[in-house]
Amino acid sequence: MTLNIGVIGTGAIGKDHIRRISSNLSGARITAVTDVNQEAAQVVVEQYGLDAVVYPDDKALLAQADVGAVLVTSWGPAHEQSVLAAIEAGKYVFCEKPLATTAEGCRRIVDAEIRHGKRLVQVGFMRRYDSGYVQLKQAIDERLIGEPLMIRCAHRNPESGPNYTSDMAITDTLIHEIDVLRWLIDDDYKSVQVTYPRKTRHALSHMRDPQVVMIETRGGVLITAEIFVNCRYGYDIQCEVIGEDGIAKLPEPSSISLRKEGMYGTRILMDWKDRFIEAYDREIQDFIDSVKRGDVQGPTAWDGYVAAVTADACVKAQESGEWEDISLDEKPDLYESRTLSEA
Q: How far apart are CA 239 and CA 166, in angstroms?
A: 22
Choose the contact partner of 148 out of ligand NAD, ligand NAI, ligand ISE, none; CB within 5 to 8 A by kind.
none
Could you tell me the smallest distance in angstroms from the CB atom of residue 191 to ligand ISE?
24
For residues 134 and 250, give the distance between their C-alpha atoms in angstroms, rounded to a whole number: 9
Is 272 one of the binding residues for ligand NAI (CB under 6 A)?
yes
By rule CB under 6 A, what string of x and - marks binding of each residue 260-279 to ligand NAD? Answer: ------------x-------
Q: By CB under 6 A, is residue 35 in contact with ligand NAD?
A: yes
Question: How does 296-318 read in b/e, with b if 16+ C-beta sit within 10 Å?
Answer: bbbbbbbbbbbbbbbbbbbbbbb
For ligand ISE, give the closer residue by CB, 145 or 306.
Answer: 306
As measured in angstroms, the least distance from the Cβ of 243 to ligand NAD is 28
CB 58, min distance to ligand NAI, A: 6
What secondary structure, in 3-state letters, does 36-77 show? CCHHHHHHHHHHCCCCCEECCCHHHHHCCCCCCEEEECCCHH
Nearest alpha-carbon partner for 192 in 173, 164, 212: 212
73 contacts ligand NAD (rule: CB under 6 A): yes
Which one of ligand NAI, ligand NAD, ligand ISE, none interacts with residue 173, CB within 5 to 8 A by kind?
ligand ISE
CB of 72 to ligand NAI, least distance (A): 8
Q: Does 75 bind ligand NAD (CB under 6 A)?
A: yes
CA separation (Å) from 259 to 140, 147, 265, 268, 330?
35, 39, 7, 15, 55
- Which residue's CB is nearer to ligand ISE, number 128 or number 176? 176
* Cα–Cα distance measured from residue 95 to residue 265, given in angstroms and rounded to the nearest whole number: 38
Alpha helices in 89-235 (DSSP H): 103-116, 131-141, 168, 175-185
Part of the chain binding ligand NAD (CB under 6 A), chosen from 11-19, 203-211, 227-235, 334-342: 11-19
**157 is in the binding site of which of ligand NAD, ligand ISE, ligand NAI, none (Cβ under 5 to 8 A by kind)?**
ligand ISE
Residues that bind ligand ISE in the complex, under the rule CB under 6 A: 157, 172-173, 176, 272
125 touches 179 (CB < 8 A): yes
Task: Pick the binder of ligand NAI from 8, 21, 28, 50 (CB under 6 A).
Answer: 8
- How far apart CA 225 and CA 153 sit, in angstroms, is 5
36 part of the interface to ligand NAD, by CB under 6 A? yes
What are phi and psi for residue 49, nearest 5 degrees?
60, 40
Contact between 181 and ligand NAD (CB under 6 A)? no
Phi/psi at 2 (5° precision)? -75, 135
Q: How far apart are the first and last CA of the chain?
A: 27
* Residues lying near ligand NAI in the complex (CB under 6 A): 8-14, 34-37, 40, 58, 73-76, 78, 96-97, 124, 126, 172, 272
